């Protein structure tokens, strides 16, 4: 594996301007970051994908869902992740048995990643857990990407906590941060936040504050030809999201029905084929969707990421 050299500038310093974000080269020789104006930032973690394979000291594959092997999540041997030309390509693949798979990459894990022990005999059936490869609290989380080009699957850049939903206090169990989700080629929906698990105690809010995350007023059309940059500024008093350097929606987290995480979280880059999560994860694509997915596979469709970077907001 070609080892990537992480070159980090000590600080990227900005003066407040009329722009929402300011372009700054924080990793020499790489594409610039777009960081919120009026603050100082220090780079604490990044992957520029400059090797010839996935850096497994930084990323793991998510292969389970609620303790069960999810057959639509690609495993390393499926060949659905390719690193080349300074980018990681997350691809959709059709296995010999007809199962469509695509990858989910993460820097940590939570309860649903842990395989269920069918032969358990005690009250605590949990196997040994892996230490996270990277978790972090607060700061600026940034990704430069090119969206998938075909229908039938989606992509996302997001965050979860190891304790997601384990208590009814989001301050200590965290909040899922859906920084970027693209369910259709070329478009990004509203940015969603989830807390207190995913059942009756669920808390859900968005920026922009629209009724539906798919509200046309909130969806941003970015196309599939070019790379775009998205970032989320996570502060103790809320979240602010930027697309290509422009703030998208208001700062959220302190409004009615909104909450903020105050514990470290891990980062995910994921893709997923439709509709495998439906009907308690037993649904299969119908004939039309299979044709659509076959077209995506034949075209070599991919979700491409140039970099992921995490910054601390430096003290003034």
Which pLDDT score, from 0 to 100, does residue 114 have?
Answer: 85
Mean pLDDT along residues 62-83: 95
C-beta of residue 239 within 8 angstroms of C-beta of residue 138: no
Q: Which residue has the higher pLDDT, 165 or 100?
A: 100
Which pLDDT score, from 0 to 100, does residue 67 have?
Answer: 83
What digits encode the pLDDT tens for the residues 201-238? 999 999 999 999 999 999 999 999 999 999 999 999 99
Q: Confidence class of residue 19 from pLDDT cuts 50, 70 and 90?
A: low
pLDDT at 296 over 90: yes
Q: Which residue has the higher pLDDT, 38 or 126?
A: 38
% residues pLDDT > 90 (the chain): 80
pLDDT at 3 over 90: no
Which pLDDT score, from 0 to 100, does residue 143 have?
Answer: 98
Which pLDDT score, from 0 to 100, does residue 116 have?
Answer: 76
Q: Terminal CA-to-CA distance of the chain, rounded, Å?
A: 39
C-beta of residue 265 within 8 angstroms of C-beta of residue 174: yes
Rounded Cα distance between 58 and 218, Å, is 32
What digits encode the pLDDT tens for the residues 91-125? 999 999 999 999 999 999 998 898 877 777 776 66
C-beta of residue 239 within 8 angstroms of C-beta of residue 113: no
Which pLDDT score, from 0 to 100, does residue 281 have?
Answer: 85
pLDDT at 76 over 50: yes
Structure tokens at 201: 């105690």
Mean pLDDT along residues 162-170: 90
Cα 163 to Cα 61, 75, 109, 137, 276, distances in angstroms: 19, 24, 9, 14, 25
Which pLDDT score, from 0 to 100, does residue 11 have?
Answer: 40
List of residues 6+ apart from 140 with CB closer than 8 A: 35, 36, 41, 231, 232, 233, 234, 310, 311, 313
Residues in the chain: 316
Which pLDDT score, from 0 to 100, does residue 30 have?
Answer: 98
Rounded Cα distance between 16 and 210, Å, is 29
Which pLDDT score, from 0 to 100, does residue 112 have?
Answer: 85
Q: Which residue reads 């470290």 in tokens?
A: 264
Which pLDDT score, from 0 to 100, does residue 14 have?
Answer: 30
Mean pLDDT along residues 292-296: 98
Which pLDDT score, from 0 to 100, does residue 90 have?
Answer: 98
Mean pLDDT along residues 41-62: 97
Which pLDDT score, from 0 to 100, does residue 140 have?
Answer: 98
* Cis bond before residue 195 (omega within 30° of 0): no
C-beta of residue 253 within 8 angstroms of C-beta of residue 259: yes
Mean pLDDT along residues 123-132: 77
C-beta of residue 184 within 8 angstroms of C-beta of residue 151: yes
Which pLDDT score, from 0 to 100, does residue 121 have?
Answer: 73
pLDDT at 254 over 50: yes
Rounded Cα distance between 62 and 114, Å, is 10
Question: Which secondary structure element, helix H or strand E, spans residue 291, and what is its range?
Answer: helix 287-298
Rounded Cα distance between 271 and 160, Å, is 15
Residue-range domains of the chain with CATH: 44-120+129-313 (2.60.120.200)
pLDDT at 18 over 60: no
Which pLDDT score, from 0 to 100, does residue 125 have?
Answer: 64
Which pLDDT score, from 0 to 100, does residue 6 have?
Answer: 39
């Amino acid at each position: 594996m070609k080892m990537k050299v992480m070159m980090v500038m000590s600080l990227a310093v900005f003066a407040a301007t009329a722009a929402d974000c300011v372009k700054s080269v924080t990793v020499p020789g790489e594409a610039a970051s777009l960081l919120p104006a009026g603050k100082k930032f220090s780079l604490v973690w990044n992957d520029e994908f400059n090797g010839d394979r996935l850096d497994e000291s930084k990323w793991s594959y998510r292969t389970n869902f609620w303790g069960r092997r999810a057959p639509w999540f690609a495993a390393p041997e499926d060949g659905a992740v390719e690193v080349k030309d300074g980018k990681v390509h997350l691809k959709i693949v059709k296995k010999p048995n007809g199962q469509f798979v695509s990858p989910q990459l993460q820097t940590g894990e939570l309860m649903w990643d842990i395989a269920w022990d069918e032969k358990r005999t005690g009250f605590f059936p949990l196997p040994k857990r892996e230490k996270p490869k990277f978790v972090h609290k607060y700061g600026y989380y940034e990704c430069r990407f090119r969206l998938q080009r075909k229908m039938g699957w989606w992509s996302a850049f997001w965050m979860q906590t190891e304790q997601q939903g384990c208590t009814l206090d989001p301050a200590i169990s965290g909040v899922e941060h859906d920084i970027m989700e693209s369910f259709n080629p070329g478009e990004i929906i509203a940015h969603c936040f989830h807390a207190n698990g995913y059942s009756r105690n669920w808390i859900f809010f968005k920026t922009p504050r629209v009724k539906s995350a798919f509200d046309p007023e909130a969806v941003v059309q970015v196309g599939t030809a070019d790379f775009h940059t998205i970032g989320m500024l996570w502060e103790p008093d809320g979240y602010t999201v930027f697309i290509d350097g422009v703030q998208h929606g208001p700062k959220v987290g302190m409004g009615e029905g909104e909450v903020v995480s105050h514990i470290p979280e891990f980062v995910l880059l994921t893709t997923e084929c439709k509709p495998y999560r439906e009907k308690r994860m037993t649904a299969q694509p119908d004939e039309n969707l299979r044709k659509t997915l076959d077209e995506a596979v034949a075209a070599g469709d991919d979700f491409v990421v140039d970099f992921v970077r995490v910054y601390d907001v430096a003290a003034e």
